[in-house]
Structure 1
Amino acid sequence: MAEETDRPRRREGSLPGSAFARGAKLASLPVGFAGRTALGMGRRLGGAPADAVLTEVQRRTAEQIFSVLGQLKGGAMKFGQAMSIFEAALPDEIAGPYRETLTKLQDAAPPMPPSVVHRALATHLGDDWRELLVEIDDEPAAAASIGQVHRGRWHDGREVAVKIQYPGAAKALRSDLKQLARLSRMFGVVAPGLDVKPLIAELQDRVNEELDYQLEAASQQAFHEAYADDPVVSVPAVVHASDAVLVTEWMNSKGSLAGIIKDGTKDERDHYGELYVRFLLEGPRRAGLMHADPHPGNFRVLPDGRMGVVDFGAVAQLPDGLPPAIGPLLRSAIDGDAEAVSEGLRDEGFLRPGTSIDADVLAAYIGPFVEPATVDRFTFSREWLRSQTQRLGTPGSEGFSTSMRINLPPEYLLIHRVWLGGVGVLCQLGATAPFTAILEENIPGFAAADA
């Protein structure tokens, strides 16, 4: 639709929405939050129950947050996708009203116009780009935080997915994340048990990697080769790559795990939940890499029952596999060896020098994290995850006090993200999986015989 002539025209080739408009939308969040807080205090003074007031503030804040994030790309969209993984940890009365908005963040964003798409292709593939890409659909097949995907045909006849980075994505990504970092207190009201500061900091630290499509191409090709003959997981081959355009083989799918979360049968939830967690944990062993963007939109449901995996912009480089201390630590926690857990965490840098935590208290804190590995088959659920979040996020609780003294070493940042994010998605699925067996297959030193 043509723009009205009396409106300021957006500079063609930039992200939808000017920097001013994007900033204004994000800036509206704390203003609305302040108003809701004041209104809530007024209701509280008027005699309304404290719990009811807090729930209402949370609900209204959540509605505004995800409405705004859903209209934006860049860092706002990336953050929204990351947050959506943890939806299962929120109380149902809070999560319910905007669950659909959250899942939409996993698969969709406003598209670029065709003229911008063609200009980007000419810039990154050359003026003769139509000789390489002989067909391309102007309507995107998918759109996300920093790029959108078009279906096309390569000159050799292969159907391909053409991922094109939004012009101006780098600037928007950095600007959004910087502004979101200032709003962490407000996000804490929506999800008191989730500390978003480390999440935003990690996204900021990995901006350059996320924007480098050649680096992503190398990671995707490594996964493709590692899974070339796999009977249940498919990773498309890379066809061509430049800094901001990535061409891969097309993969026909029926949707993503977001659809299974919403409408899947119990059998589908269990099947794809098992494939999902197996892929996340076996990547370091098979490819020397860990896929580190575990939100459901990156995992596709294929017609033959296999799972397809896309978007390798965030990966953990683990050429020697997972850190060797993980397996023995998990085994010690399951066996109830509090001293070994405490000593192992200190050796790995999870406890800073001078930090003192009673070994039994620390073991009790770690215990629920490994609960899924204490039985042959564990059923992940929103209720279970909410209980863990409340245990760790309630000020004054022993779990909260302990978590405040735990340090996260840099080499574990992405592993931690995948572990928590993966558990969040499994809880959204409500999947029952042989979690213990999967750990034994993929984490050296975890199996009882290895201990």
Structure 2
Amino acid sequence: MMGTVSDIARRSSSRNAKLAKIPLGIAGRAAMGFGRRLAGGDRTEISADLNQKAAEQLFSVLGELKGGAMKFGQALSVMEAAVPEEFGEHYREALTKLQAAAPPMPTATVHRVLDQQLGTRWRERFSEFDDEPTASASIGQVHRAVWSDGRQVAVKVQYPGADEALRADLKTLSRMSGLFASVIPGADVKPVLAEITERTEEELDYRNEAGHQRAFAKAFADHPDYVIPRVVAGSPKVIVTEWVTGTPLSGIIRAGAEDPDGTVELRNRVAALLGAFHFSSPARAGLLHADPHPGNFMMLPDGRLAVIDFGACAPLPTGFPPELGRMLALSVSERYEELTALMYDNGWVIPGRTVTHQEIADYLRPFTDPIKTDSFHFTRRWMQRVAGKASNISSAEMKTARALQLPAEYVMIFRVLGGSIGILAQLDAELPFMQLAREWMPGFTEESSLR
């Protein structure tokens, strides 16, 4: 465990200096490696050593800063399956660590926040409270405790200064997007940062998270396949929820890498549960869980999927937009002229730009494998191939991409889609993608019947 931090470094200059270490440190190590190569060092060994050190630095700085830096790292972490093989396992390990790990804040700071948020007699509300955190996230850390009625609970405490840190980080990271794009080729970094920035204020108030979680818990109450922990108590900077114990998806991904044949059934079940949860949530709860990384999902011993952390949710009170179902149906049937017209009508083409239906067809082709059959096997190799094509800036498809934009109401939906596909590729699992689309996406069946 890295050393504790007393507070999130708040001053913009202080945080900027730490973030600046990343490119400077990586460049310095590369120069050092070049010198060693000239001196006759083993090139493969030196490159591996440099990659490991650069990855460790990336994790160390993002994890230490927490706030927007760590939140951005977590958003990237689900895309680690797209990392090309030449970068080795080091970046994957570093990014995966960001899904659950960060240095803790001191006990005195935790107690001070609890005094402010739950009252100075907060200890009377718990029969036990573990001062050692069990997990750390981008803007808060989790402690295990026992509520006064005997229930095991998770207590998430927000880091002091998280609000200032988030704003400072996101401003700085937006100027450093090129670096991260080089670490994860094909990752569309700027929209991720823009979307995170937009949701920052909402996530900083845990009362919003409590409202989201209550809505999900009600919608999935007594569901045979899912567990949503109930909210026990909450305030702007502290939220107390029921405790759940299970195997995080990161553990299942690791087990799959070690024993691919022996874990096929488990990995496919996880994929099916994860897919059905995201597809059905708007219709069931009027919300979409919008923080898809393996730390927020775990398999329970009884085979159910537990879902936690509802800070980022997209409000979809009437379910998915019917236009999205129509667009998917038109893509499936390759009716690109109608699809292009629909994109123009719904703001997907930047005003003043022109795209043809053939250009849209060529642009979408690399991404359409999952919609060609009822079920699709998501793999790292497939994702690397798609990411490679998506990052070819000189291609005709990239020219088409520069004429397109993602309407605001779809940003969170596509974040969930991209993040979930990243997890599925890490799982190396099969998902009945199109079956779920037919069942849960308004507009899909209607448009398909018009063919």
Partners of 2:143 and 2:239 in 1: CA distance = 11
> Once the 2 structures are TM-superposed, how far is the Cα of residue 252 of structure 1 from its aligned partner?
1.9
Residue pair 1:72, 1:110 contacting (<8 A) in 2 also: no
Q: How does 1:312-323 map to 2 (within 5 A)?
A: 312-323=310-321
What code does the residue aligned with 2:419 have? G
Partner of 1:6: none
CA distance change for structure 1 residues 450 and 296 in 2, over 3 Å: closer, same or farther?
farther
- AA aligned to 1:129 is W
Report what 2:400 is aligned to.
402
Alignment of 1:146-225 (within 5 A): 146-225=139-218
CA deviations 1:173-212 (Å, max 9, x no partner) are 2222222122112122223322312211221221111111
Match for residue 381 of structure 1 among 356, 379, 382: 379
Encode CA deviations 1:97-125: one digit per residue, 9 max, x unaligned: 22222211111111122222122111101
- Larger deviation, residues 219-228 vs 142-151: 142-151
Identify which of 36, 59, 64 aligns with 1:66: 59
Seen in structure 2, the aligned counterparts of structure 1 residues 405 and 237 have a Cα distance that, compared at 3 Å, is same
The offset of 1:159, in angstroms, is 1.6
Map of 2:254 onto structure 1: 262
- Would you say the 8 A contact 1:221–1:237 is kept in 2? yes
Count of matched residue positions in the alignment of Structure 1 and Structure 2: 441
CA distance in 1, matches of 2:36, 2:373: 47
Q: Which has the higher mean CA deviation after the structures are superposed, 15-24 or 120-129?
A: 15-24
Q: Decide which of 327, 330, 335 is 2:328's aligned counterpart.
A: 330
Whole-angstrom CA distance in 2 between matches of 1:148 and 1:434: 35
Letter in 2 for 1:371: D
- Of 227, 234, 253, the residue aligned with 2:220 is 227
Corresponding position of 2:346 = 348
3-state SS of paired residue (1:395): coil
Cα offset, 1:45, TM superposition: 12
In structure 1, distance between residues paired with 2:335 and 2:288: 29
For the aligned residues, what is the CA RMSD?
3.0
Matches of 2:188 and 2:300, distance apart in 1: 35
**Cα distance between partner residues in 1 of 2:189 and 2:277:** 26
Q: AA paired with 1:364?
A: D
Pairwise CA distance, 1:224: 0.3
**2:102 is aligned with what amino acid?**
A
Identity, in percent, stands at: 49
SS in 2 for 1:326: helix
53 and 385 in structure 1: CA distance in 2 versus 1, 3 angstrom threshold: farther
How does 1:90-101 map onto structure 2 within 5 Å? 90-101=83-94
Q: Normalising by structure 2, what TM-score?
A: 0.90
Equivalent AA in structure 2 for residue 259 of structure 1: G
Q: Which runs of 5+ in 2 are unaligned?
A: 40-44, 257-262
Instruction: For 2:169 and 2:76, locate their aligned partners in 1 and report how far apart those are by CA, in whole Å.
Output: 15
- 1: CA distance between counterparts of 2:35 and 2:371? 47
Change over 3 Å in CA distance of 1:359–1:17 after alignment to 2:
closer
Other-structure match for 1:241:
234
The alignment status of 1:443 with 2:419, answered yes or no, reads no
Residues 1:439 and 1:154: Cα distance change in structure 2 (over 3 Å): same
Shift of 1:61: 4.7
Q: 1:123 aligns with which of 116, 129, 154?
A: 116
CA contact (8 A) 1:223 1:287 kept: yes
Which runs of 4 or more aligned residues in structure 1 lie more than 6 Å from their structure 2 counterparts after TM superposition?
16-20, 37-46, 52-60
Aligned to 2:260: none
| Paired residues of 1:70 and 1:101 also in contact (CA < 8 A) | no
Mapped to 2, the partners of 1:355 and 1:55 lie a distance apart of 44
364-373 or 240-249, larger mean C-alpha shift? 364-373
**Structure 1, unaligned stretches of length 5 or more?**
4-8, 47-51
User: 2:389 matched to 1:391?
Assistant: yes
